[in-house]
Amino acid sequence: MRGARRIGPLVFRDRSGHSRRGRDVKLLSAVVHAIDWLNERVGRAVSWLTVLMVINVFIVVVLRYTLSVGWIWMQELYVWSHATVFLLGAGYTLLHEGHVRIDLIYREASLRYKAIINILGSLILGGPLIYLIFDRSLPMISRSWDSLEKSAEAGGMPGLFVFKSVVAVFAVLFGLQLLALFLRSVETLLGADDDPEYLDTEDQEGGI
C-alpha cells in the first residue's frame, strides 16, 4: 500500500511532513510497536511449550499403559503447562485478533466506529477486568512465595508458587496489549483514513 504505514493491525496514511500531530504519531507508533514486539516474542516462545506438552502427555500415556507406571508430577506438569500457554499467550492472541467474540455490526463498520468500540471496550471492559485480576492475584502470589507452595498431591510438582506468578504476568502482558489497541484506536480518531485503501482487509475482524 503506497504512502501508508502499518501500526499493529491498523494501517495509517504516512503524513510525514504534513501532519501537525507528527510527533504524537511517532510516539504512539513507538509505544505500540514495542508492546506488539514484546507480545509477539512471548507468544512465539510460549508456542514451543505446546510441543513439550504433547511430548509430556505422550510419555505419560506410554508409561501408564505399557509399563503401568505413573508419576503425579508428570501429570500435573502438562496441566500447568497448558494453563501457562493460555495465560502467556493471551496478549499474543489479542495482538493477532484471535479471541472469539460476537460480531453484529463491527465487521462492516467504518474505521472510526471500530476505534470508538475498541476504546470503550478497553476502558469499560478490558481494562478494569485486567486490573482486578492483577490486583486480586498479588496477595495469592505473595502468600504462595512466602510458603514456597508446592502441589497438595503427594509426589506432585514443586514450585507451584512460580506457576501462580504467571497470573500476574498474564495481566501485565494482556493489559499492555489492550493499551496498544487503545492507542491505535486513538490514532484512528486523531486522523486515520477511512478509505478502504488504507485498511488491511485481513484485519477487519479485529477488536474487543
Tens of pLDDT, residue by residue over 56-75, are 999 999 998 888 888 888 88
* Residue 189 or residue 84, greater confidence: 84
Check residue 11 and give left, alpha or beta (phi > 0: left; psi -120 to 50: alpha).
Answer: beta
The closest alpha carbon to 122, from 177, 168, 171, belongs to 177
Provide the terminal-to-terminal Cα distance of the chain, rounded to the nearest Å. Answer: 26
Instruction: Let me know: does 184 contact 112? Beta carbons within 8 Å.
Output: no
What is the DSSP code (8-state) at residue 88?
Answer: H
Q: What average pLDDT does the segment 118-140 reach?
A: 93
pLDDT confidence bin for 179, thresholds 50/70/90: very high
pLDDT confidence bin for 135, thresholds 50/70/90: very high
Instruction: Let me know: does 189 contact 21? Beta carbons within 8 Å.
Output: no
Cell of 50: 505446546
- Spatial separation of the C-alpha atoms in residues 201 and 208, rounded to whole Å: 17
Global confidence as pTM: 0.76
